[in-house]
Amino acid sequence: MKYALLVYSKPGSFEALSADEQAKVYGQYRAVSAAPGIVGGEQLQPAATATTIRVNDGHTLTTDGPFADTKEVFGGFYMLEADHLDRAIELAAQIPSTWMGGSVEIRPVVEN
Amino acid sequence: MDGGLGRDPARGGELALIEQVFREEWARVLASLVGFLGDFDLAEEAAQEAFAIAAERWREAGIPANPRAWLISTARNRAIDRIRRGRRFAEKARLLEERSVVECNTDEGAIPDERLELLFTCCHPALALEAQVALTLRALGGLTTEEIARAFIAAPETMKRGLSRAKAKIKAAGIPFAVPPDHLLPERLAAVLAVVYLIFNEGYGGRTELAREAIRLGRVLAALMPDEPEAHGLLALMLLHDARRRARFAGEQELVLLGDQDRSLWDAGEIEAGRATLERALALRGRGPYVLQAAIASLHAEPDVDWPQVAALYAELATLTGSPVVELNRAVAVAECEGPQAALEIVERLELGDYQYWHSTRAELLRRLGRGDEARAAYRSALELARTAPERRFLRRRLQEL
Give the predicted TM-score (pTM) of the model: 0.83
CATH number of residue A7's parent domain: 3.30.70.1060
A chain contacts of residue B169, beta-carbon cutoff 8 Å: none
Distance from CA of B188 to the nearest CA of A (A): 11
DSSP 3-state assignment of A41? Answer: strand
- The span from the CA of B124 to the CA of A94, in Å, is 19
Q: Of the candidates A4, A1, A17, A2, which has an alpha carbon nearest to the alpha carbon of residue A92?
A: A4
Among all residues of chain A, which has the CA nearest to that of B172?
A108
Chain B interface residues (partner A, CB cutoff 8 A): 124, 126, 172-176, 178, 180, 184
CA triplet B150, B153, B154: central angle to 5 degrees?
Answer: 90
- The span from the CA of B44 to the CA of B22, in Å, is 14
Close Cβ partners of B345 (under 8 Å, ≥ 6 residues apart): none
Residues 42-101 of A with CB under 8 A from B: 82-86, 88-90
Helix (H) or strand (E) holding A22: helix A19-33
- Cβ–Cβ below 8 Å for B176 and A83: yes
Predicted pLDDT of residue B7: 45
Residue type, B368: R
Predicted pLDDT of residue B91: 65
Predicted pLDDT of residue B250: 61
User: Do residues B312 and B294 lie in contact, with contact meaning Cβ atoms separated by under 8 Å?
Assistant: no
- Cβ–Cβ below 8 Å for B184 and A1: no
Could you give the percent of chain A with pLDDT greater than 70? 97
What phi-psi label fits residue B59: left (phi over 0), alpha (psi between -120 and 50 degrees) or beta? Answer: alpha
Residue type, B117: E
Q: Of the candidates B315, B185, B296, B181, which has an alpha carbon nearest to the alpha carbon of residue B233?
A: B296
Chain B contact for A1 (CB, 8 A cutoff): yes
- The span from the CA of A87 to the CA of A82, in Å, is 6
A chain contacts of residue B174, beta-carbon cutoff 8 Å: 1, 3, 82-85, 88, 108
In a domain, B383, yes or no: no
Distance from CA of B176 to the nearest CA of A (A): 6
Please, what is the average pLDDT of chain A? 93
Interface probe with B: pick from A86, A87, A107, most Cβ of B within 10 Å: A86
Count of residues for chain A? 112
Range of the domain at A20: 2-108
B chain contacts of residue A106, beta-carbon cutoff 8 Å: 173
Q: How far is CA B148 from the centre of its chain?
A: 13
A chain contacts of residue B172, beta-carbon cutoff 8 Å: 108
How many structural domains is chain A composed of? 1
Looking at residue A44, the DSSP 8-state letter turns out to be P
Close Cβ partners of B226 (under 8 Å, ≥ 6 residues apart): none
In a domain, B311, yes or no: no
Predicted pLDDT of residue B325: 93
Q: Of the candidates B86, B93, B66, B77, which has an alpha carbon nearest to the alpha carbon of residue B3?
A: B66
How confident is the model over A22-49, as a mean pLDDT?
A: 95
Beta strands in A10-112 (DSSP E): 38-43, 51-56, 59-64, 73-81, 103-108
User: Do residues B139 and B167 lie in contact, with contact meaning Cβ atoms separated by under 8 Å?
Assistant: no
In a domain, B204, yes or no: no
In a domain, B227, yes or no: no
- The span from the CA of A33 to the CA of B311, in Å, is 51
In a domain, B228, yes or no: no
How many structural domains is chain B composed of? 1
User: Do residues B313 and B326 lie in contact, with contact meaning Cβ atoms separated by under 8 Å?
Assistant: no
Predicted pLDDT of residue A92: 97
Q: Which residue among B172, B180, B184 places its CB closest to the CB of A108?
A: B172
pLDDT in tens, chain B (402 residues): 333 444 444 566 777 888 888 888 999 999 999 999 989 999 999 999 999 999 999 988 888 999 999 999 999 999 998 888 876 656 666 666 655 544 444 555 567 899 999 999 999 999 999 999 999 999 998 888 998 888 777 899 999 999 999 999 999 999 999 999 999 999 999 999 999 999 998 876 666 788 898 999 999 999 999 999 999 999 999 999 999 887 876 655 566 677 778 888 889 999 999 999 999 999 999 999 999 999 999 999 998 899 999 999 999 999 999 999 999 999 999 999 999 999 999 999 999 999 999 999 999 999 999 999 999 999 999 999 988 888 889 899 989 988
Q: Of the candidates A27, A29, A32, which has an alpha carbon nearest to the alpha carbon of residue A9?
A: A29
Range of the domain at B71: 3-106
Predicted pLDDT of residue B103: 45
User: In the 3-class helix/strand/coil scheme, how is chain B assigned residue by residue?
Assistant: CCHHHHHCCCHHHHHHHHHHHHHHHHHHHHHHHHHHHCCHHHHHHHHHHHHHHHHHHHHHHCCCCCHHHHHHHHHHHHHHHHHHHCCCHHHHHHHHHHHHHHHCCCCHHHCCCCHHHHHHHHCCCCCCHHHHHHHHHHHCCCCCHHHHHHHCCCCHHHHHHHHHHHHHHHHHCCCCCCCCCCCCHHHHHHHHHHHHHHHHHHHHCCCHHHHHHHHHHHHHHHHHCCCCHHHHHHHHHHHHHHCCHHHHEECCCEECCHHHCCHHHCCHHHHHHHHHHHHHHHHCCCCCHHHHHHHHHHHHCCCCCCHHHHHHHHHHHHHHHCCHHHHHHHHHHHHHHHCHHHHHHHHHHCCCCCCHHHHHHHHHHHHHCCCHHHHHHHHHHHHHHCCCHHHHHHHHHHHHHC
Q: Of the candidates B133, B242, B115, B147, which has an alpha carbon nearest to the alpha carbon of residue B193?
A: B133
In a domain, B340, yes or no: no
- Cβ–Cβ below 8 Å for B175 and A84: yes
DSSP 3-state assignment of A31? Answer: helix
